[in-house]
Amino acid sequence: MSKQRPSAAAVEMTGGARPLVRVGVGRADWARRVFKNSYTRGGRRTRLRGWSVKFQHQGTRRTFSLAASTRDAAAIEAQAIYQTLVTEGWDAAVRAHSSPGRRASLLNHLAARQYWPRTDLRYWKQRVVVRRYASPLRPGHGGEYSARIEHAGMGCYFPLGTLDADAAAGKAREIYLALLRDGWDTVNRRFQRELTVAVHWADNPLAWTYATFHSVTQDGAMRIPRESPRVTPPANVVVVEPDESVRRALFSCIHSQSGFACTAAFAHAKEALRDLTPASPDLALVNRSLRDDIESEWSARWRRVAPHLSILFYAVYEDSDQLFKATPGGATGYLLKRTPPDRLFEPIAEPSSEPSLTLERIALRVRRYFQNVILTLSAEESARDMAKLTHREHDILNLLSKGYVDKEIAEALRISVWTVHGHLKKVFEKLGVHTRTEAAVKYLHK
C-alpha cells in the first residue's frame, strides 16, 4: 500500500495562503495513492474489498476508507478529501468524508445520510432545494431544483434545470466533479450560477436594490428583447464586469428594462476607456471591485472622453444573505429593496421627457424612490411583529443587523452556534421572513 503524501507538483500556493490541491492535474498520481488495505488476525492476512487512502497533514496521519468501488472513482474521492483537508482542516475532512458504514452505528439515519461522500449521488439528493426567488427566472418552466456547491473555499448555488430529484442530483454531481477536474473558471463558463446583483445608490443612509439572476454561459447568447415603441430614446448604458458569464447576464437584464439599452459590455475599465466613442453612453454600470481603478487612475480620463457619463457601482454575491453580511457598518440607516432582474434601474426609471441621467437627476430620483418605499411600510405591523420576539431574539437580531455571522453572534452572546440557529428559526417564523437579509431589514425598519 502507498503511504506517499501528494507530491509538491500536486499542490499550489495562492498568494501566500494555505495550499490548495491543483485539481485537474495528476489524476494518475491520485489513482496510485489509493490502495486496498489489509489486516492480520490469527496469523491470517485479510485484504479489504474497499479502497483506502492515507494522508499526513500538519503532523497528523490518518487513513480514510473510501466509498468508491473502482480505482478511478476512489481517486476522485481521495482528491476531494484532500481538498477539504487543506482548505478546512481535519475536523471538516472527517465529518464530510468518513465512511457512512462506520457512522451508521453511532448516528441515526437522519444524521448519517448527511455524510455520504460528495462523489455519491445520495449526497446531492439530500441537498437539492427549490430556491424561492430563482423559480421566476425561467418563465413557464414550472420551477427547478438548485444546489449549493462548494470547492476550494468558494461556493454558490447552481440551477439544475429539473424538478426530478434524481436528475438534479446527477447534475449537481456532474458540476462538482467538473470543479474537481477543471476548477472554477471553466465551470463558470460551462454552467449557469444563481447569483445576486446589488446596485449601490447611496452611502449614508446606505441604499441598495438587489436582484437574483442567472449567469449566462459561453453557449448562451446576450439576449436583446424585441423592441417596443418608445416615447423617448432609451438611456444608453455600458457595463464593466470582469466575469464573462455575469457580463452576459447584465447585458440581457438591462435590455429587458424599458427605457434602458446596453450599448456595450467590457471586461475592464481600460478596455472601456479605449473603446468608448464620442457618442458616449449616459450611464456606466461598474463592478465595485474596480472602484479604486475608476476613481483614481481612470476617472479624469473618462470625464474627458465622456463628460456627461454617470457611474453606478454594483457588487455580485452568491446570494442575498451574503449581500447583507458584506454591507459596511457606520451608516445612519440601511435601505435594501429586492427588485426583479429586469428592473435593475427601478429607482431611476420614472417617466421623463428628459432622458439625461446626470448625477443630480439620479440622486433626486433615488431619494424619491426610497422615500416612497419607506412610506409603504406599516409601522403598526412592524411594531406588532417585533413585540413577538423575546429579549434574546432581539439581541440576536440586533447583531444580525450589524452584519455579524452566526459564529460571531454566538461568541458575543456566549451561547453555542446551534442555539443561535434555533433562535433564528423562531425569529423567521415570528417575522414571516425567509432569509437573514429580510429579517435584518425588517428589524432596521422597526
List the domains of the chain with CATH numbers.
8-115 (no CATH), 121-190 (no CATH), 194-356 (3.40.50.2300), 379-444 (1.10.10.10)
pLDDT digits (tens, 9 = 90+) for 241-300: 999 999 999 999 998 898 899 988 999 888 888 877 655 788 999 999 888 877 776 777
Instruction: Cell numbers for 103, please give them.
Output: 457512522
Average pLDDT over residues 310-338: 82
Question: How does residue 224 score in pLDDT terms, banded at 50, 70 and 90?
Answer: low
pLDDT of residue 153: 81
Question: How does residue 353 score in pLDDT terms, banded at 50, 70 and 90?
Answer: low
| Cβ atoms within 10 Å, residue 28 | 9
**Alpha-carbon distance 404 to 391, whole Å?**
18
**Alpha-carbon distance 68 to 120, whole Å?**
8
Higher pLDDT, 386 or 104: 386
pLDDT digits (tens, 9 = 90+) for 153-203: 888 999 999 999 999 999 999 999 999 999 999 999 999 999 999 999 998
**Alpha-carbon distance 222 to 227, whole Å?**
15
- Residue 119 CA, chain-centre distance (Å), reads 21
pLDDT of residue 379: 54
**Alpha-carbon distance 402 to 392, whole Å?**
16
What percent of the chain has a predicted confidence (pLDDT) above 70? 78
Question: How does residue 15 score in pLDDT terms, banded at 50, 70 and 90?
Answer: very low
Q: Any bridge partners for residue 353, and if so which? A: none
Dihedral, CA of residue 401, residue 406, residue 410 and residue 412, to nearest 10: -40
Higher pLDDT, 256 or 386: 256
pLDDT of residue 446: 52
58-89 CB burial, b ≥16 within 10 A, e <16: eeeeeebbbbbeeeebbbbbbbbbbbbbbbee
Higher pLDDT, 380 or 129: 129
pLDDT of residue 221: 57
pLDDT of residue 166: 94
Q: How does DSSP classify residue 290?
A: G
**Alpha-carbon distance 77 to 119, whole Å?**
6
Residue 27 predicted with pLDDT over 70: no
Q: Which range, 22-31, 32-41, 102-111, 236-245, is most confident?
A: 236-245
Q: Which residue has the cell 455600458?
A: 238
Report the candidate in 75, 66, 52, 54 with the shortest Cα–Cα distance to residue 101: 66
